[in-house]
A and B are shown apart, each in its own frame.
Chain A
Amino acid sequence: MNVKVNRRSFIQVSSLVSGGLVLGFSWGSCTRPEEVIVMPKEWFDLNGFLKIGDNGLVTIMSPNPEIGQNVKTAMPMIIAEELDVDWKNVIVEQAPLNTDLFNRQVAGGSQSIRQGWTSLRTTGATAKQMLINAAAQKWEVEASTLKAEKGFVINSAGEKLGYGELASIASGMEVPTSESVKLKDPKDFTLIGTNVSNVDIDKIITGKPLFGIDTKKEGMVYASVLRPPSFGNSLKSVNDAEARQVTGVSDVVQFGDKVAVIASNSWAAMKGKKALKAEWENGETEDTAFHDEEMMTLLNTKTDKPKREEGNVEKGFAEADEVIERIYEAPFLPHNCLEPMNFYADVRSDKVELLGPIQTPAGTRKQVADLLERPEDEVSVDMTRMGGGFGRRLYGDFALEAAEISDKIKKPVQVLFTREDDMTAGTYRPASKYKFKAGIKDGRMTSYHLVGVGYDMWGNCTRHDNFPGGAVDNYLVESHTPHTNITTGAWRAPITNFLAFAEQAFLDEVAEKCEKDPVEFRLELFEKAKSNPAGKVEYDVDKSIGVIKLAAEKSNWGKSQDGVYQGFSTYYSHNTYVAEVAEVVLENGSPKVQKVTCAIDCGIVVNPLGALNQVEGGVVDGIGHAMYADFSFENGRANHENFNTFRLIRNPEAPKVETHFVESYNDPTGLGEPTLPPAGGAIANAFAKAGKERMYKQPFIQAKGLIG
């Protein structure tokens, strides 16, 4: 039998010892405050994912990092569904990093639920089978005569045994093979598909420590790090005399081109950093003007190998009644997670402990081990809740800094970025430009040529197999991905966060030239992809058409009131289909986005309450960055450092978002990202309807004549 004092019972015991009688918990968010959960005397491990207490309480580990996409609620819900336990008896804990036990502990690509779906269900179902087997042993009957419901195993006579009573026997039983356990028919789900509030809601609304930045540990000091102010600079020399005078500053250490000021509190560390006098060596630095020129040249340069080619676009253009060509441009963008980058590290001779907000704990552990030349099993990386990720926390540079500094000063340390550090030393969304060219013949788009240029975009800045691939007879997609010394990386909905706007804005112009309604125009292309494809079709045409029609219907497409201008956009990303209709009114001549109707097909919606929040957030994020996000570099230095000049979307600028999920029993797909890409196109197309110039460049706010 596997009985041991584990962390939870330890916490319970130590709380009792410290005098705080722990009886009233409202962990599970469905737990109303008046419902008092008594902690069990003993917990039994059934597998790495869950523990059952002797009173029937269940602790479920949420394996993946939580960045606000709400997987800490949704992943345990999936386990609880198959386990058949009442959600109000569930406690959720963030799992430790354990690559043997858990698959893919990563928050990225909107894949947590999609890729975890079957294994999480199997985990719950396996544990349930063990409890049923335990009951069968107790009752001396065949397991097949028993069923489970809401935390009880029930026999044919209707007698019940609670999971709590069975846990100790079950935990000692052989684990059934995953093939031998039966998963539920999705039609029988009772928890999945219901509204479950965020498992951390009580802590969030009362300000309890929860985030990496809230970490306080015995003996911990704070570090603020001075990094080169420009990409391409290196450190020549530093004078730290003044910094050392700042109250609370205990040390100044140099590592590589960086200088860390160590202090007893965050403010002293930041103040000390400001007092450093550094001289920088000017290396090769880049400007936005240089990037613009380079990208423009590449837009007109043939690639050696197209990403995809069908038919003959040149011939198509030559035979066309009309050819239209447009260029779309977007800047580098910082992520601006509201919680600035930070990490805790304690490098000791026997082990290395790291703790903080990270989307890729396993990869970070490896990097830290490599950096310190320590075996990986001496390094632990624990995850805190994250104040946003958006891709920035896929890169563990801040964790490596913490490890390096702790190793140098031989103390536990928290590295904390100031907002200025965060905005100027980021891994930016790559700047990019797209050139689209379409040939129109007899009112149809018969040729389509896309050339993309994006900095360091993983070898491809397009999505060549997305729509309208397969829907146009002559089709050519090319990509250039030049190098820059500005660090770039994934930014929520990589590539498509801008490509989708460009494509959808362009298609509206083509539709106009074809004298077709934008929705009709797109539907015709999808119909062609279905009935007479011009090449392989790697998206689901029916699902695409489904969301387009749903968005059109729910938004009353084409029948808006006078003075309300609608814009349409649709995009497929992260395995999810989305269509959006933006509604714009003019206020003193300036467009205001008042509403966005969003139709979405993401398969089964695990937690509609959380899912709606993701949809709304994605739309608002997409609009905000398309409208306002201005960013550029001069001599390798970012032109914005903080929110006093860098504009993020604010409360009065956010439209109402109305969401419609396609009812589905298909396995769930991504949700954290897919509603962002179409948003920019929807508003740009609405602006054009409102009589404004078409948008070709982000941020829109700088477009001539848009405001006033």
Chain B
Amino acid sequence: MATYTINVNGKKREVDADPDTPLLWVLRDHLGLVGTKYGCGVASCGACTIHLDGSAVRSCSVPVGAIENQKITSIEGLSEKGDHPVQLAWKEHDVPQCGYCQAGQIMSASALLKKNANPTDDEIMGAMAGNICRCGTYNRINAAIKTAVKNS
């Protein structure tokens, strides 16, 4: 057990945890930020996607002990009022079915747009291939990303 100071959504947070504790569970259980979801624990579903210094990473596979001073952004910190262009596009297209994968989808999509403001269809599908939607909302996800591109 050790104490870590990590930078989450613009705030310094202290957590007591074993170094191998995945960031996913630090966010969810230690910090109560439950927007980041558990789906597989093996970096295969994307439900736990967050940004680490702006890049999409699977938080289930990043141990808290490996974090130094990178900036961690979870869905709760993506925008102050839920009005990031990707969030607004998600709303406009009414993307979710069950909704469980959607925080991860939004985090992957927003990381993509940060790096590539105008992705092609193939680039969108490629960037989103790591995020499973068991409900099959892929058509809407891709349409919403295009809307977000237009509105950013």
A contacts, CB < 8 Å to B: 29, 33, 66-70, 195, 197-198, 200-202, 204-211, 213-214, 216, 222, 247-248, 265-268, 270-271, 336-340, 385-390, 418-419, 609-610, 613-614, 616-621, 624, 642-644, 648-652, 654, 656-657
Contacts and interface: CB of A to CB of B under 8 A. Distances in A.
Contact of A617 (B39, B81, B135): B135
A620 B102 contact: no
11 contacts: A70-B97, A197-B91, A206-B78, A211-B37, A337-B98, A338-B37, A387-B99, A616-B136, A649-B136, A650-B129, A651-B138
A203 to B, nearest CB: 8
Interface in B89-140: 90-91, 94, 96-103, 106, 122, 125-126, 128-140
A205 B136 contact: no
Contact of A654 (B76, B100, B138): B138
B3 to A, nearest CB: 13
B47 interface: yes
B34 A209 contact: yes
A338 B22 contact: no
Contacts of A616: 136-137, 139-140
Nearest to A418: B41
B35 A213 contact: no
Nearest to B139: A616
Nearest to B128: A651
A214 B35 CA distance: 8
A121 to B, nearest CB: 24
A609 B96 CA distance: 11
Secondary structure at the B interface, as helix, strand, loop or mixed, is: loop
Contact of B100 (A197, A211, A657): A211
Contact of B96 (A204, A213, A649, A654): A204
Which 7 A-B pairs rank lowest in CB-CB distance, beginning with the nearest? A207-B35, A68-B98, A387-B100, A620-B136, A207-B75, A267-B25, A68-B97
A655 B22 CA distance: 34
A336 B37 CA distance: 15
Q: Please classify how large the interface on chain B is, using the bins under 10, 10 to 19, 20 to 34, 35 or more.
A: 35 or more
Contacts of A202: 82, 91
Contact of B98 (A67, A201, A222, A265): A67
Given A419-B42, A642-B44, A650 B91 contact: no
Nearest to A623: B136
A643 B45 contact: yes
A389 B136 CA distance: 13
A206 B76 contact: yes
Tell which of B33, B41, B45, B94 has the most Cβ of chain A within 10 Å.
Answer: B94
Contacts of B99: 68, 198, 200, 204, 210-211, 385, 387
Nearest to B77: A207
B98 A207 contact: no
Given A205-B102, A206-B76, A213-B37, A338 B82 contact: no
A133 B32 CA distance: 48
A206 B38 CA distance: 16
Contacts of B44: 642-644
B42 A642 contact: yes
A266 B20 CA distance: 13
A642 B40 contact: yes
A144 to B, nearest CB: 40
B38 A213 contact: yes
Interface in B1-55: 1, 18, 20-22, 25, 28-30, 32-45, 47
Contact of A340 (B25, B28, B39, B78): B39
B100 A208 contact: no
B18 A643 contact: no
A394 B72 CA distance: 37
A120 B15 CA distance: 48
Tell which of B81, B100, B126 has the most Cβ of chain A within 10 Å.
Answer: B100
Contacts of B33: 207
Nearest to B101: A338
B94 A609 contact: yes
